[in-house]
Structure 1
């Protein structure tokens, strides 16, 4: 159940000065709403002193926390998400459409109206303790970032990580948040046993571009420093050049890989920009506002890779597209990664150490 969350006042204009540090420019309704809503001008030019949009956090009590998938192009079959929505506000985030399931906008609602799941650690422990449970690497951060700003006060991710350590359960984390450094003590302990690794996403080295495209994410230089700190603590780090944006960030591909290798990353990967469902119009609006001179070229490149559409969700196609441009990016990445020593596959995480910790009242083993 979700606790009551105040609904934005739809009769108030959504001007640019009301959304500082936000990625999306609109809060249009999602695809499941019976009635659609959108912010439009009424034609009156009357100045109003309105407050900026603030982040709201509701709470959910999940019945289950582990989500299973059968996607043939994903390297994991299970994941957890301590939060719904993400305050980082990355305009390109492919997880934005998931907010429509809550009756909220994939636009500004996704980054301003979050849902925390404070009981997630307890539910996770219960599911891991089930007799039929078979361990396999658990992914965290594949939908919304577990180390987004709200985690600093809530600590849900930290508590989930404590559970995984106690169960000796393998985990692979993906994040842009430097708050992951807070958990180096647990991650280094798990990494020493072959139970943990981290992926850090670096989309661009251009501070100004990053601020526009990922408004509440730590700067690129700060993320590279996080790679260094994790690596020095013995935690395997994969540099994720994702998403690659045609005609905007693709010229930086080799420079990003070189910076990641210098910071201590031991592997690298890349994904092309994806624009599923409501993300496509949000992205086009963002381009029109920030890079109108490049918008046509960027969208033309994307459509070349998806049979003329903004995006195609076909298995084994959606992550990188196809065609001459996609092949060129793949070749550039492979050559640079090989030269920098980032082309090695990471060793599999261990599942043989899985062991539910004893509970009060459990009978102790004799041997």
Structure 2
């Protein structure tokens, strides 16, 4: 990351660059300037180690800029800022720091310097290392948001798919439009309440399980009366995952100053589980917001087949968006994830349409 530019792969080029070379080099220069600006913008939003790392990445991109400026000479000049910089800035304000880091990571991974005859070997290596640096920075944010993000995506996606399948299945049975609407509303509340109850029980159970593994505060009262030579306190730490040497050293420190902690992961070893009530509330909201979209056509007065088509299109767009966001944040292809979400949602809806037609035919 800190290496200076070296000789290009192919130094034998015409003294005066061709128009095609000028266009290609100016595009590369604009990209490097854009990436340096993105890193500087991200650094201003960060602090501590993250700010220092992002600032150094911006400096590395400046060295890459200098390489293309030397090749271009008098043709360098100002470059037009790519649209993606403005888009990334907008996304940073809407979705936050991690979303932009994930997009930048994919940009670094797509670098073509490895096969560019006018880039240097060190520049190609820099880009590969930059991708790993960004991956490391993004990993922290992904870990911090994994719980809430999982609940949001799972809740919204479940609402979209389950209520679309429900209203399309009922609509395919040729029932009255009012019945379809009320069925969709019932599905919204039933699913949202079920999701909230399930999330509450899940998080509450996790909290209770972790609480059962916490050290008993009353056990600390016995520390001062322990036999220093027997040092049975070390068994507590060995039972909690420390090896023998670490457990003995920890026990000696605790016995020497009569410290109260019996938790080797002190402090806050079980933080981050979250509140059961907040988890339930967020699950209810996300499911309900997803489940509302399939019934919008009936709410706004559409009926029959046009309402069903409109519902499928609305939910399809929402599935593409949620799948794309998941793809970006996970560092994979947004298009592949979006199409996967769409296929799953439409597959479930198609199955219920077929069942609705069968039941409708049998009831008629």
TM-score after normalising by structure 1 = 0.22
Considering only CA atoms, is the larger Rg found in Structure 1 or Structure 2? Answer: 2
> Per residue, is there more helix in 1 or in 2?
2
Which structure is higher in RCO with an 8 Å CA cutoff and minimum separation 6?
A: 2
> Per residue, is there more strand in 1 or in 2?
1
